[in-house]
Amino acid sequence: MIDHALNKPNNQATMELGRRSLIHDPIEGDLSKIMLVRAKGCSVWDDHGREYLDFTSQAWSNNLGANDPRVVKAAIAQLHEITHVRPNFNSIPLLELAAKLREISPGDLNRFGFCLHGSLAAEMAIKLAFKNRFGRQSLIVLQDGYHGRSLTTLAASWPHPNSPFLAIQPRFTRVPHPDPYRPRKGLTVEADSQLCLQLLEDMINKGVDGGVAAIMLEPILGNGGHVVLPKSFLTGVREICNRYDIVLIWDEIQSGFGRTGRMFAADLYGVVPDIMTFGKGIGGGFPLAGIMASERLTGFSAGEDGLTFGSFPVALAASLATIDAIIGDKLCQNAHDMGAYATERLLKMAERRKLIGDVRGPGLFCSVELVKDRVTKEPTAAAASEVYRRAAQKGVLLGESRYAGLGNLIKIKPPLDVTRAQMKTALDVFDEVLGEIEASGSY
The DSSP result for 248-269, as a single string, is EEEE-TTTTTTTTSSS-HHHHH
Judged by DSSP in three states, 411 sits in strand
Give min distance, CB of 13 to ligand PLP, in A. Answer: 32
Question: Which one of 65, 148, 219, 363 is in contact with ligand PLP (CB under 6 A)?
Answer: 148
Interface with ligand PLP in residues 260-299 (CB under 6 A) = 279, 289
Compare residues 157 and 294 and give the one whose CB is closer to ligand PLP: 157
Q: Is 253 in the site for ligand PLP (CB under 6 A)?
A: yes
Compare residues 146 and 388 and give the one whose CB is closer to ligand PLP: 146
Compare residues 111 and 259 and give the one whose CB is closer to ligand PLP: 259
Q: Is 181 left (phi over 0), alpha (psi -120 to 50) or beta?
A: alpha
Give min distance, CB of 135 to ligand PLP, in A. Answer: 27
Q: What does the alpha-carbon distance between residue 182 and residue 198 come to, in Å, rounded to a whole number?
A: 18
The DSSP result for 303-369, as a single string, is TTS--TTTT-HHHHHHHHHHHHHHHHTTHHHHHHHHHHHHHHHHHHHHTT-TTEEEEE-STT-EEEE
Compare residues 366 and 433 and give the one whose CB is closer to ligand PLP: 366
Compare residues 106 and 386 and give the one whose CB is closer to ligand PLP: 106
Q: What does the alpha-carbon distance between residue 217 and residue 142 come to, in Å, rounded to a whole number?
A: 6
Q: Is 122 in the site for ligand PLP (CB under 6 A)?
A: yes
Binding segment for ligand PLP (CB under 6 A), chosen from 116-124, 136-144, 159-167, 329-337, is 116-124
Q: Is 385 in the site for ligand PLP (CB under 6 A)?
A: no
Size of the site for ligand PLP (CB under 6 A): 16
Nearest to 276 by CA among 300, 292, 297, 299: 292
Q: Which helix (H) or strand (E) holds 139?
A: strand 138-142
Q: Note whether 330 and 80 are within 8 A (CB).
A: no
Give min distance, CB of 262 to ligand PLP, in A. Answer: 17
Q: Which residue is nearest to ligand PLP (CB)?
A: 118
Q: What does the alpha-carbon distance between residue 430 and residue 443 come to, in Å, rounded to a whole number?
A: 16
Compare residues 154 and 359 and give the one whose CB is closer to ligand PLP: 154
Question: Which one of 41, 113, 222, 273 is in contact with ligand PLP (CB under 6 A)?
Answer: 222
Q: Is 118 in the site for ligand PLP (CB under 6 A)?
A: yes
Distances (CA, A) of 150 to 147, 162, 170: 9, 16, 11
Q: What does the alpha-carbon distance between residue 292 and residue 249 come to, in Å, rounded to a whole number?
A: 10
Nearest to 112 by CA among 236, 360, 291: 291
Q: What does the alpha-carbon distance between residue 384 and residue 404 come to, in Å, rounded to a whole number?
A: 13
Give min distance, CB of 72 to ligand PLP, in A. Answer: 21
Question: Which one of 78, 138, 254, 385 is in contact with ligand PLP (CB under 6 A)?
Answer: 254
Compare residues 261 and 422 and give the one whose CB is closer to ligand PLP: 261
Q: Is the peptide bond before 273 cis (omega within 30 degrees of 0)?
A: no
Judged by DSSP in three states, 399 sits in strand
Question: Which one of 63, 152, 223, 401 is in contact with ligand PLP (CB under 6 A)?
Answer: 223
Give min distance, CB of 129 to ligand PLP, in A. Answer: 16
Compare residues 126 and 204 and give the one whose CB is closer to ligand PLP: 126
CB neighbour burial string for 262-277, b if at least 16 within 10 angstroms, e if fewer? bbbbbbbbebbbbbbb
Q: What does the alpha-carbon distance between residue 150 and residue 158 come to, in Å, rounded to a whole number?
A: 13
Binding segment for ligand PLP (CB under 6 A), chosen from 160-168, 215-223, 260-268, 371-379, is 215-223
Interface with ligand PLP in residues 337-366 (CB under 6 A) = none
Give min distance, CB of 211 to ligand PLP, in A. Answer: 25
Compare residues 65 and 118 and give the one whose CB is closer to ligand PLP: 118
Q: What does the alpha-carbon distance between residue 282 and residue 112 come to, in Å, rounded to a whole number?
A: 13
Q: Is 147 in the site for ligand PLP (CB under 6 A)?
A: yes
Compare residues 203 and 291 and give the one whose CB is closer to ligand PLP: 291
Q: Is 218 in the site for ligand PLP (CB under 6 A)?
A: yes
Q: Which residues bind ligand PLP (CB under 6 A)?
A: 59, 117-119, 122, 146-148, 218, 222-223, 251, 253-254, 279, 289
